[in-house]
């Protein structure tokens, strides 16, 4: 297979370097899958990293900034290795691989990337994407109380559920609690049927989806029946002490200061708490202050508590999600400051 790719980018800078390597073992089908239809995957990498990729068969030559060219080479080698067991490569998979190629991640040594902690569950193995997700998982596994703060699509809640499932399967904990404040994102809960727990249930669907993916539908149902997995509104936590449990508080930006303090003081021996939220999506009534924004200041220096802050570049959903988040951030930054939440 011969191809000669020219990136639609500006001419290389004066400090540009060339990086050459050969993909082994030679496999025409894997090379075709790596390049993609009409070299779409190579063009996707070129555009994202501002590099130029030339290849003749399995021989590749990359030019661009030293760090980004090195990162592009590493991505191509990693994707090619993955094609030994995967029949094809999709644009989404390339996008996820590119999440590890920003300037910060490009500076992570190959050894550290090889030492990424994998989260093993019954149905799948979860691999943290990018330097921030790596730090987040290691923090969750090392601290009793952890905060994951940032925009939607950065894997905050999904990784927390994965860590909880792994801990349950290893018998490190006795149960998992999934908690959410009963605050509507512009809707009203009152019209929904059932008690408060049933009303909140639809809002916890992303947590259920993650559990089903990692444990299977039938297993999750049985664990819920036995109260090994419990789903509850935040209000139901008052007065409880949670020992030997993994507690995940999702959408924490919609807690009040009092609720956040109440939740954090429920944590008992042998328990791990993960609190996730996006301070830019607060749905509290006007005049109420977010407990998440408040706790970021109060507990910032407390030993044993970790804070991981995600940025739009960490988004691992559709590439447009990252651009949408960045556009909203830029718009908000242009608006005059007010005495809001």
In a domain, 147, yes or no: yes
Angle, helix 40-49 to helix 66-82, in steps of 10 degrees: 150
In a domain, 185, yes or no: yes
Same domain, 148 and 101: no
Same domain, 97 and 133: no
Residue 33 structure tokens: 């899958």
Of the pLDDT bands very low, low, confident and very high (cuts 50, 70, 90), residue 48 is: confident
Same domain, 63 and 124: no
Q: Range of 165's domain?
A: 116-318+325-334
State pLDDT tens for residues 288-310. Answer: 899 999 999 999 888 889 999 99
Same domain, 131 and 88: no
Same domain, 92 and 151: no
Q: How many CB atoms lie within 10 A of CB 180?
A: 21
Same domain, 66 and 122: no
Indicate the Cα dihedral angle 158, 159, 163, 168, nearest 10°. 10
pTM of the predicted model as reported, rounded to 2 decimal places = 0.64
Same domain, 102 and 124: no
In a domain, 340, yes or no: no
State pLDDT tens for residues 9-40. Answer: 334 444 566 889 999 998 999 999 999 999 99
In a domain, 63, yes or no: yes
In a domain, 230, yes or no: yes
Percentage of the chain exceeding pLDDT 90: 38
Same domain, 92 and 165: no
Handedness of CA 189, 193, 195, 201 (dihedral sign): negative
Same domain, 63 and 169: no
98 vs 195, more confident: 98
d(CA 252, CA 259): 10
Strand order in the sheet with 305-309: 229-233, 175-180, 245-249, 272-277, 145-149, 305-309
State pLDDT tens for residues 92-107. Answer: 788 778 765 554 454 4
**Which residues make Cβ contacts (< 8 Å) with residue 47, sequence separation at least 6?**
7, 8, 9
Cβ atoms of residues 275 and 249 within 8 Å: yes
pLDDT value, residue 13? 45
CATH of the domain at 136: 3.40.50.300
Same domain, 247 and 309: yes
Same domain, 8 and 125: no
In a domain, 266, yes or no: yes
d(CA 294, CA 155): 23
Number of domains making up the chain: 2
Q: Which of 91, 168, 83, 75 is nearest to 129 (CA)?
A: 75
CATH of the domain at 23: 3.30.1370.10
Convert the chain into a string of H (helix), E (strand) and C (coil). Answer: CEECCCCCCCCCCCCCEEEEEECCCCCHHHHHHHHCHHHHHHHHHHHHHCCEEEEECCEEEEEECHHHHHHHHHHHHHHHHHCCCCCCCCHHHHHHHHCCCCHHHHCCCHHHHHCCCCEECCCCEECCCHHHHHHHHHHHHHCCEEEEECCCCCCHHHHHHHHHHHHHHCCCCCEEEEEECCCCCCCCCCCCCCCHHHHHHHHHHHHHHHHHHHHCHHHHHHHHHCCCEEEEEHHHHCCCCECCEEEEECCHHHCEHHHHHHHHCCECCCCEEEEEECCCCCCCCCCCCEHHHHHHHHCCCCCCEEEEECCHHHCCCCHHHHHHHHHHHHHHHHCCCCCCC
pLDDT value, residue 327? 83
Cβ atoms of residues 97 and 74 within 8 Å: no
Q: Which of 264, 254, 253, 272 is nearest to 137 (CA)?
A: 272
In a domain, 339, yes or no: no
Q: Is the pLDDT at 130 greater than 80, yes or no? A: no
Same domain, 29 and 150: no
In a domain, 111, yes or no: no
Of the pLDDT bands very low, low, confident and very high (cuts 50, 70, 90), residue 91 is: confident
- Residue at which a domain ends, from 106, 127, 144: 106
Of the pLDDT bands very low, low, confident and very high (cuts 50, 70, 90), residue 285 is: confident
Residues in the chain: 341
d(CA 82, CA 204): 33
- Residue at which a domain ends, from 106, 132, 155: 106
- Residue at which a domain ends, from 106, 137, 171: 106
pLDDT value, residue 54? 92
């Amino acid at each position: 297979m011969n191809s000669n790719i020219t990136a639609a980018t500006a001419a290389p800078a004066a400090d540009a370097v060339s990086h050459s390597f050969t993909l082994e073992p030679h496999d025409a089908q894997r090379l075709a899958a790596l390049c993609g239809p009409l070299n779409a995957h190579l063009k996707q990498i070129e555009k994202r990293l501002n590099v130029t990729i030339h290849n003749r068969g399995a021989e590749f030559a990359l030019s661009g900034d030293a760090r980004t060219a090195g990162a592009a080479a590493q991505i191509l080698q990693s994707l090619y290795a993955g094609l030994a067991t995967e029949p094809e490569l999709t644009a989404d998979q390339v996008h996820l691989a590119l999440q590890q190629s920003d300037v910060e991640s490009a500076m992570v040594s190959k050894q550290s990337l090889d030492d990424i902690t994998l989260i093993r569950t019954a149905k799948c193995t979860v691999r943290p994407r990018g330097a921030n997700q790596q730090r987040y998982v290691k923090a969750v596994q090392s601290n009793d109380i952890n905060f994951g703060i940032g925009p939607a699509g950065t894997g905050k809640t999904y990784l927390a559920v994965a860590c909880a499932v792994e801990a349950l399967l290893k018998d490190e904990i006795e149960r998992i609690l999934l908690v959410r404040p009963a605050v509507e994102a512009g809707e009203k809960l009152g019209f929904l049927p059932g008690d408060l727990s049933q009303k909140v249930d639809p809002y916890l669907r992303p947590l259920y989806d993650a559990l089903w993916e990692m444990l299977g539908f039938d297993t999750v149902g049985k664990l819920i029946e036995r109260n090994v997995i419990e789903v509850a509104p935040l209000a139901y936590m008052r007065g409880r002490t949670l020992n030997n449990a993994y507690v995940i508080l999702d959408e924490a930006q919609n807690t009040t200061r009092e609720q956040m303090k109440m939740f954090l003081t429920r944590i008992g021996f042998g328990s791990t708490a993960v609190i996730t939220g996006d301070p830019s999506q607060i749905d509290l009534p006007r005049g109420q202050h977010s407990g998440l924004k408040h706790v970021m200041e109060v507990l910032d220096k407390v030993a044993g508590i970790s804070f991981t802050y995600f940025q739009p570049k960490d988004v691992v959903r559709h590439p447009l999600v990252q651009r949408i988040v960045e556009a909203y951030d830029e718009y908000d930054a242009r608006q005059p400051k007010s005495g809001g939440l």
